[in-house]
Structure 1
């Protein structure tokens, strides 16, 4: 009969051989060249084609077409809304120009060096990642006279 130690030693040796690092007969220069070429050609590789039966392929095409139509419809509605807003802004600017040219020129005056204030958050579709900026200190006015 074999003892427990006699059985365990060959198993450990086999396990260690399996987990050992593979060595190749390629020189490091050739290996570097192969790696560089594989990285360069990685961008040109095509994705694998889906292997679908005819019914599944038709379903896939229908879903893809419906999704692209939905995206196009959303894009057109967003573009129409933006065009409507632009028309409204240009109409308001023309009315202001007719009513008071001084106010129109003052509203459209270029101010260099003026930055967007931190207190105002740009409206987005998603909530901010940081809900509150705790370390905010408002800028001190330089021309305050005592």
Structure 2
């Protein structure tokens, strides 16, 4: 299916001055005879077919405003970098503290160190707990429910 066959019904041909157009569409007629709404619809449908990443419109600023904008943008990028680096330093300190604690535990008691590294696979969140919701339940309380036997 070609693009022309998709958009052909949407394209309104220029109406002749001697013949009245029989196409009934909503919208204001322009001097060229093409309906503005149909033209906009054609453009939007064509945009769906040729979808690309949309970029924001370029700012139309004076030279001084461009300098201000660039300065503020660089300052914000610097602030973001400083926050990111400070978080990275904190994480490195935490990692070093955890590593030191693990090394110390290994020196003191290898059995406790081995126990601390084992994972309990069967421990999960109990299904009996209710999840908070915005609406009340259909059955408020189940009086016959008992805890599962272990």
Farther off after superposition, 77-86 or 42-51: 42-51
Shift of 1:51: 0.4
Unaligned runs of 5+ in 2: 1-23, 28-33, 36-40, 127-132, 134-139, 141-146
Structure 1 residues 64-143: aligned runs within 5 Å: 64-115=73-124, 140=147, 142-143=149-150
Alignment length (residue pairs): 99
* Larger RCO (CA under 8 A, 6+ residues apart): 2
TM-score by length of 1: 0.55
Shift of 1:141: 6.5
Shift of 1:111: 1.8
Higher-helix-fraction structure: 1
Are positions 1:63 and 2:68 aligned together? no
Unaligned runs of 5+ in 1: 1-19, 26-30, 118-129
